Chains A and B, each alone.
Chain A
């Protein structure tokens, strides 16, 4: 039996660590040719490549900032040359920063919004061209529970993650006619995810409200992501899936 993503080419932004790496591994395990970008740690990228190699597969890594339009376009062209038209895009690149509004610098705000939102826009625009041409595509935007539910989290982070929900819904309407689906995944706090840096009191509060009484794992979210970008998930479009153990 063939793997669900056999023959597909996937690009995962921010794939060198954390949830990005887990998604790269899951997509690769499920048959996709995986490419990812990273902006900082060469070592982290190597670790992702090694993890995929351990599955007996090969991946492509690009040191590219998602907010550098020209570099993004060059990366997409290079992937298309190497692995064919990109069928799957996971807009995962992002970061967390715990800072109250009173102390937030304009640069903090810009960096947060740029990385999450402008980055998703630039990468999507570059990838979309091939998807429209081939008349198919799966786009998955990684948001957060903080973007869809009222939570005590940094406002620029909440804003950026909420923007990705809007981005998902607008884009789903716009490109659905080309056989491209766009969905959004909003995980709660994950082990070894960005929530790792939360103060213990916040983490405890989350667990108190979570029906499953535990945080999620990167693999659990990556498995759902792999399903969402597969052909088995053919009618879901414009949806935001919350993965939080029922908070």
Chain B
């Protein structure tokens, strides 16, 4: 239930490139060290640089992008036993949050960041449980899409200028609006330090939606989060405001407690047309207690039941946490596969950041990462889903999200697209979206897939059944009548399912390269649209945790007071100060 515009329709005119990676370079004018963006353009490779003293510049570093990428991937291939260096990037000191250089090294087929902070000393963190997956993911990098409008200027560099500045490499796929800081749980792993002080006003929310539409034109989804959004006394007014023609889906991200006990509320959700993203991290008392603070088995079961009874389109969100609920990953997949109204399943390997998460007991050298969760999916579903069914999502940074789509066959079972689609050939189908929209591009990709399956149906598992299901899908998604943009996004949502794995970052595995292409954004009342991990780690006051010093790298990640010229653009300076700087 995520993206809309990642179909390459608005490639940046000023930067028609594919952002590939970060690496160290020097300023051509002053010779100072800086971090350059490696971008692929016209099959050549360039460094894009921004020197604080000399300004922007660029330099050609390779005449052949294919050769460059091949050599880059080869650097990640195992070179005998022991540790070897793959690349470098910019991460954070886990103690003081200062930006520090990180060496990306591979050891025993795992990927680690090795860092040294001038103040706090050395540190190391696991960033991927599978080096092969990590390295090959870079091959999926794809050009970003330009928003219609950026919300901030490049002044100090990333992540200080978040908002998004015009150096950001991706538009907003999923806007997440925190509509309240009230909650009915105190989850040990929560990133938010809820103050129980503010329900966002409908006027503020409407302004956020206006800004989003101004920036994006249209959105496939908007997510209402919190706190617990169902505690907002005017939640249905907010849903109504979001239910505009330009926004296809309004998703309420909830712990489900109110749905479980308040059937009238659930029926109102159904009537409102909103979708539910239900937090469901396990199936036993102990997992709930460790992650959410108390046994929620009964409430979660009741919430699932009412969602099923009312046929409310649902996404499950499972925070996969090492040593806590990793053994229940397969059970979540089975539940997802068995219920028609559950459209997608989102695994989020735990990010140890923010008010609660930052203090949650963890070992940065032994944690779940995307390939580790995928491995557990295969192991715990007896191969019903396989590691080879999953691919990195190209439109975000390929280390951020992995996904698989599953086609519903006519007998109700689901088959991963990867069993019959070559995603390297039909990359259009890999989108930051839980469902496939009825767009011309998807239609063309589906026709390709149909011909491909048609030609190989004797070799493909369940070939004739796949063709029948694709025929049904085409008939449903492309009916003989015009579809509104909203309908086009939603019409195919019961034809397939999806599993996403989204690894949000924390102080251990933060990678500035990933942040630069983030497409999950928190729109703010002041008009900024903040990339999620940057907001959680640097810009969300509470997220820094009570014992964390302000980042030591020289600049506060937000202005204490907006400059006079900026003040006019801030619709509510007082609100800005209270909410953002609290």
**A residues neighboring B (CB under 8 Å):** 128-130, 132-133, 174-175, 177-178
Contact = CB atoms under 8 A, between A and B. Distances in A.
Contacts of A178: 451
A132 B447 contact: no
B452 interface: yes
B447 to A, nearest CB: 7
Nearest to A129: B455
A130 B456 CA distance: 9
B448 A133 contact: no
Contacts of B451: 132, 175, 178
A178 B455 CA distance: 11
16 contacts: A128-B454, A128-B455, A129-B454, A129-B455, A129-B457, A130-B455, A132-B451, A132-B452, A132-B454, A132-B455, A133-B455, A133-B456, A174-B447, A175-B451, A177-B448, A178-B451
Nearest to A125: B454
Nearest to A130: B455
Given A132-B451, A133-B455, 11 more contacts: A128-B454, A128-B455, A129-B454, A129-B455, A130-B455, A132-B452, A132-B454, A132-B455, A133-B456, A174-B447, A177-B448
B223 to A, nearest CB: 38
Contacts of B455: 128-130, 132-133
A221 to B, nearest CB: 31
Contacts of A175: 451
A108 B451 CA distance: 34
A130 B451 CA distance: 11
Interface string B420-456: 0000000000000000000000000001100110111
Chain A to chain B: the 5 pairs with minimum beta-carbon distance, closest first: A132-B455, A133-B455, A129-B455, A132-B451, A129-B454
Contacts of A174: 447
B582 to A, nearest CB: 56
A175 B456 CA distance: 15
A181 to B, nearest CB: 15
Contacts of B448: 177
B444 to A, nearest CB: 9
Nearest to B457: A129
A44 B455 CA distance: 34
A175 B450 CA distance: 12
Task: From A128, A130, A133, A177, name the one whose CB has the most chain B CB atoms within 10 angstroms.
Answer: A133
Contacts of A128: 454-455
B448 to A, nearest CB: 7
Contacts of B457: 129
A177 B456 CA distance: 17
Contacts of A129: 454-455, 457
A130 B447 CA distance: 17
Nearest to A174: B447
Nearest to B452: A132
Interface in B442-497: 447-448, 451-452, 454-457
A174 B455 CA distance: 14
Nearest to A134: B455
A93 to B, nearest CB: 23
Contacts of B456: 133
Contacts of A132: 451-452, 454-455
A73 to B, nearest CB: 12
Contacts of B447: 174
Contacts of B452: 132
Nearest to A178: B451
A54 to B, nearest CB: 37
A175 B448 CA distance: 9
Task: From B448, B451, B457, name the one whose CB has the most chain A CB atoms within 10 angstroms.
Answer: B451
Contacts of A177: 448
A76 to B, nearest CB: 13
Nearest to A133: B455
